[in-house]
């Protein structure tokens, strides 16, 4: 299982989202507070953000976030209106390599999966970046299109009832998320909206998102709809 985070709003540095908060992804990489599966997230990390031309840029690694002095040095100089970041705890049997770390991308969307799914139930998708379940699931979601994210998640869950399918995806102007088996919280700030597997601080404004929901953030609006299981 992993922990992930997305931002949509005014330009912000990935460092301010990931590294600076008292319980940000950096701390969550060794001491997550709400993680139900796995003790730490030391099997890699990644961040993706949209530049001023709307191009997704990624920095991913197979090593723990806490050891990355280069990212800590450069991150405060980066700014973006839309960010997706994750720290990874690889599931048993999955490869540990940078291309298996979220966010995955099809060139338009950045996507992270927090969870586990039986790879045998995933129809072959052509452009998977790695062979871990999350990369295969990302490729399937890209192939089906993000407008059917909710249906794709419900269909995969019908084939693997034990699957946990928390997805976080962004295209620069929209953030989409699902809750299916794990935690997700939202923080509405004056300068933008954060979605995160767990709150990065103790601000009482964080709100839990109920399980089995689809979340859409655009223009500072947060819209939630229940997902139907089978």
Site residues (vs ligand GLN, CB under 6 A): 1-2, 88-91, 94, 100, 113-116, 132-134
Among candidate residues 1, 2, 90, 170, the one labeled active-site is 2
CB of 69 to ligand GLN, least distance (A): 24
Residue 51 CB: number of other CB atoms within 10 A?
14
**Closer residue to ligand GLN in complex, CB, 2/217:** 2
Q: Which residue has the tokens 């961040």?
A: 47
Closest approach, Cβ 207 to ligand GLN, in A, equals 22
Decide whether 115 or 150 has the Cβ nearer to ligand GLN: 115
Cβ 43 to ligand GLN shortest distance, Å: 7
Asked if the peptide bond before residue 103 counts as cis, ω within 30 degrees of 0, the response is yes
Judge whether 82 counts as a catalytic residue: no
User: By C-alpha distance, which of 215, 88, 110, 212 is closest to 153?
Assistant: 212
Judge contact between 178 and 227, C-beta under 8 A: yes
CB of 224 to ligand GLN, least distance (A): 22
Closest CB 197 distance from ligand GLN, rounded Å: 9
Of 12 and 177, which CB lies nearer to ligand GLN in the complex structure? Answer: 177
Phi and psi angles of residue 11, each rounded to the nearest 5 degrees, phi first: -60, 130
Local structure of 157: helix, strand or coil:
helix
Query: 26 vs 116, which CB is nearer to ligand GLN?
Result: 116
Q: In degrees, to the nearest 5, what angle opens at C-alpha 197 toward C-alphas 62 and 211?
A: 130
- Residue 15 DSSP label: H
Spatial neighbors of 92 by CB under 8 A, at least 6 apart, are: none
CB atoms within 10 A of CB 73: 10
Residue 2 or 19 having the CB closest to ligand GLN: 2
Rounded Cα distance between 226 and 150, Å, is 9
Catalytic residues: 2
């Amino acid at each position: 299982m992993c922990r992930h985070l997305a931002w949509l709003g005014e330009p912000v540095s990935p460092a301010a989202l990931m590294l600076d908060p008292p319980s940000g992804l950096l701390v969550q990489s060794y001491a997550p507070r709400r993680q139900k599966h796995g003790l730490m997230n030391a099997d890699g990390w990644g961040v993706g953000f949209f530049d001023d031309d709307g191009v997704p840029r990624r920095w991913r690694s197979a090593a723990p976030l806490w050891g990355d002095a280069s990212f800590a040095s450069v991150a405060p100089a980066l700014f973006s209106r839309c960010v997706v970041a994750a720290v990874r705890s690889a599931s048993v049997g999955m490869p540990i390599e940078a291309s298996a770390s979220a966010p995955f991308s099809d060139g338009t969307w950045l996507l992270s999966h927090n969870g586990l799914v039986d790879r045998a139930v995933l129809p072959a998708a052509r452009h998977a970046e790695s062979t871990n379940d999350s990369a295969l699931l990302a490729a399937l979601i890209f192939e089906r299109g993000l407008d059917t994210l909710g249906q794709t998640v419900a269909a995969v869950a019908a084939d693997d009832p034990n699957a946990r399918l928390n997805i976080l995806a962004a295209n620069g102007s929209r953030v989409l998320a699902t809750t299916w088996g794990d935690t997700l919280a939202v923080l509405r700030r004056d300068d933008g909206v954060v979605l995160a597997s767990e709150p990065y601080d103790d601000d009482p404004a964080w709100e839990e998102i109920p399980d089995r929901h689809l979340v859409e953030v655009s223009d500072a609006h947060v819209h939630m709809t229940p997902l139907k299981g089978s």
